[in-house]
Amino acid sequence: MLRYAIKRLGSLVISLIVASLVIFACIEVIPGDPASFMLGINAQPDTVAALREELGLNASLSARYLSWVTGMMSGDFGTSYTYRTPVAEIIGERLWLSLPLALIALGLTVLVAFPVGILAATKRGSWADMSVMGATQLGIAVPNFWFAMLMVVLFAINLRWFSAGGFPGWENPAAALKALTLPAIALALPQASILARVMRSALLDTLSEDYIRTSRAKGLTRRQSLWRHALRNAMIPVLTIIGLQFSFLLAGAIIIENVFYLPGLGRLVFQAISQRDLIMVESVVFLLVFAVIMVNFAVDLAYAWVDPRLRGRA
């Protein structure tokens, strides 16, 4: 297991290096000069030149890349061009919203998808299976932002159970969790539908394997065969989807954050791009890529734990 983990860790480091190069190169080709954008169209050339020098934009691309990477390794992401405050401080504030939102949405996804997928697989062809498949198809087809707006109309405007948007902060945990409830449900709906269908498909494939029939022949009931053998072996594709979904929930919640007016990472990236705050965009995007790669690394280790055969291939 240790050898397998070290091998995957090496791949992780290489992926991070390549990702940093790609992110930096892509962000630098975005049209528009941050200094000119900050000062406006009527700014004098010498004022723009002085601001470019202050921001370090006159340095070579290689020098700026090395400064950015070495700074991140020490926890210094630089200073935001727009807010004139440390990027790490701003990211930390926004991460305290985006990370709990992603975790809550993922928790709701798993809580709904696992029992629903297992029910559909064990009741294949029944009304329960058909109902699950129809409901999940609807959940995938409905855009989450449209579903979010419906919930705002119903629960915030008509019933007044929740606020229509905004985030009160974590000083009052109950109010903070209440503010994240509707956004988390909106994010979880399509993900739970996808995961339930994957769980059903993987479990049906596993239940048709020879070793399941052998376990039944040895006297195990269908339920015992399911929980002792089938479910664990069906988890590999399910873990893959869970890893991808967490990455999406963390990095791809920009639309939901705008619907509910939440100051998260997605909204921060959107604002930074519109304001040509390159150092902010580079740092946030790299942080999100780092999260995706780390989740994939964790999923790979989970693979090896679920399927010991993978350890022997390292």
Residues 96 and 212 in one domain: yes
Q: Which domain holds residue 127?
A: 88-311
Is residue 48's pLDDT more than 90? no
Residues 37 and 174 in one domain: no
Q: For residue 78, is it within any domain?
A: no
pLDDT digits (tens, 9 = 90+) for 2-16: 676 777 778 888 888
Residues 171 and 275 in one domain: yes
Q: For residue 256, is it within any domain?
A: yes
Residues 226 and 294 in one domain: yes
Residues 201 and 53 in one domain: no
Residues 166 and 38 in one domain: no
Q: For residue 265, is it within any domain?
A: yes
Helix (H, G, I), strand (E, B) or coil at 86: strand
- Are 152 and 220 in contact by the 8 Å Cβ rule? The answer is no
Count of domains for the chain:
2
268 or 58, higher pLDDT: 268
Residues 246 and 279 in one domain: yes
Residue 196 binned pLDDT confidence (cut-offs 50, 70, 90): very high
Q: For residue 51, is it within any domain?
A: yes
Residues 123 and 208 in one domain: yes
| Amino acid at residue number 235 | M
Q: For residue 109, is it within any domain?
A: yes
pLDDT digits (tens, 9 = 90+) for 166-187: 888 888 899 999 999 999 999 9
Residues 40 and 130 in one domain: no
CATH code of the domain containing 187: 1.10.3720.10
pLDDT digits (tens, 9 = 90+) for 259-304: 888 888 888 888 888 777 778 888 888 888 888 888 878 877 776 6
Which of 73, 108, 126 lies at the terminal end of a domain, its last residue? 73
What mean pLDDT comes out for the span 149-172?
88
Rounded alpha-carbon distances, angstroms, from residue 61 to 24, 42, 84: 9, 27, 21
Residue 311 binned pLDDT confidence (cut-offs 50, 70, 90): low
Residues 42 and 65 in one domain: yes
Cβ partners under 8 Å of residue 95, min gap 6: 265, 287
Token output for 244: 């991808």
Q: For residue 82, is it within any domain?
A: no
Which of 46, 73, 100 lies at the terminal end of a domain, its last residue? 73
Nearest-angstrom CA–CA distance, 76 and 234: 42
What mean pLDDT comes out for the span 39-59?
72
Residues 291 and 151 in one domain: yes
pLDDT for 45 equals 75
Q: For residue 81, is it within any domain?
A: no
- Token pair 């790490």 is found at 88
pLDDT digits (tens, 9 = 90+) for 227-246: 777 777 778 788 888 888 88
Which of 73, 101, 122 lies at the terminal end of a domain, its last residue? 73
Residues 12 and 131 in one domain: no
Q: For residue 92, is it within any domain?
A: yes
Q: Does the global pTM surpass 0.95?
A: no
pLDDT digits (tens, 9 = 90+) for 83-136: 888 888 888 888 888 889 999 999 999 999 999 998 888 888 889 889 989 999
